[in-house]
Amino acid sequence: MKAMPGRIRIIGGDLRNSRLNVPDLPGLRPTSERVRETLFNWLAPTIAGVRALDLCAGTGALGIEALSRGAAAVQFVEPERAPVQALRDNLARLKAAGGEVAAMDASHFLQGTPQPFGLVFLDPPFALQLWAPLAQRLEQGGWLAEAAQIYVESPQGVSFALPSNWMLHREGHAGEVRYALYRRSQSVPLS
């Protein structure tokens, strides 16, 4: 089920049924309700109190859903002016404490001082194919907590390299989209 253009519904937690205003921009591709519901069912045992990073935030639906379900804090990273303003407005209107927005691209953000996150949403614009470089920066730059979970959304059939210590925990498909949850292991598997 696709959300109405311009509005997305939060599906669980304290902000359940709240609507997010979303700018109508080409390439802005909110994660569907069905995929978010599945993902947050997977995350339910570990979401409370986690510090999350919504890298390439876009609408911010993933990060706001995490705040709604008990995440302690979410850092949103988004370079485009209209989504940044909509995200800030939505956080203020919903009184979603713990959300902070960085108006910059993900690569620039990851050049800053690292803060380890327990949960990362990695859902870059599909056309830019940033999965591998952003994943490497997250892993090598000190951005991930010891047992971090990383959600990756990508087109089906597109392959890219992820760090070898990211272990696939769960995955699914919805239409042309593949979504997967990885768990970071401290030890790097032998090749």
* Tens-digit pLDDT profile for residues 49-85: 999 999 999 999 999 999 999 999 999 999 999 999 9
Q: What is the pLDDT of residue 23?
A: 83
What domains does the chain contain, in order, with CATH numbers?
Answer: 7-184 (3.40.50.150)
| pLDDT tens track for 85-122 | 999 999 999 999 899 999 999 999 999 999 999 999 99
What one-character-per-residue DSSP string does 20-64 give?
Answer: EE----TT--PPPHHHHHHHHHHHTTT-TT-EEEEET-TT-HHHH
Model confidence at 2, pLDDT cuts 50, 70, 90, reads: very low
- Residue % of the chain over a pLDDT of 70: 94
pLDDT, position 188: 53
d(CA 111, CA 105): 10
Whole-angstrom distance, CA of residue 135 vs CA of residue 150: 9
pTM of the model: 0.91
Q: At 9, give phi and psi (nearest 5°).
A: -100, 135
Confirm if 164 and 185 have CB atoms less than 8 A apart: no
C-beta atoms surrounding 162 within 10 Å:
19
Q: For 64-84, give the DSSP string.
A: HHHHHTT-SEEEEE---HHHH
What is residue 5's predicted lDDT score, i.e. its pLDDT? Answer: 46
Q: What is the DSSP letter of 128?
A: G
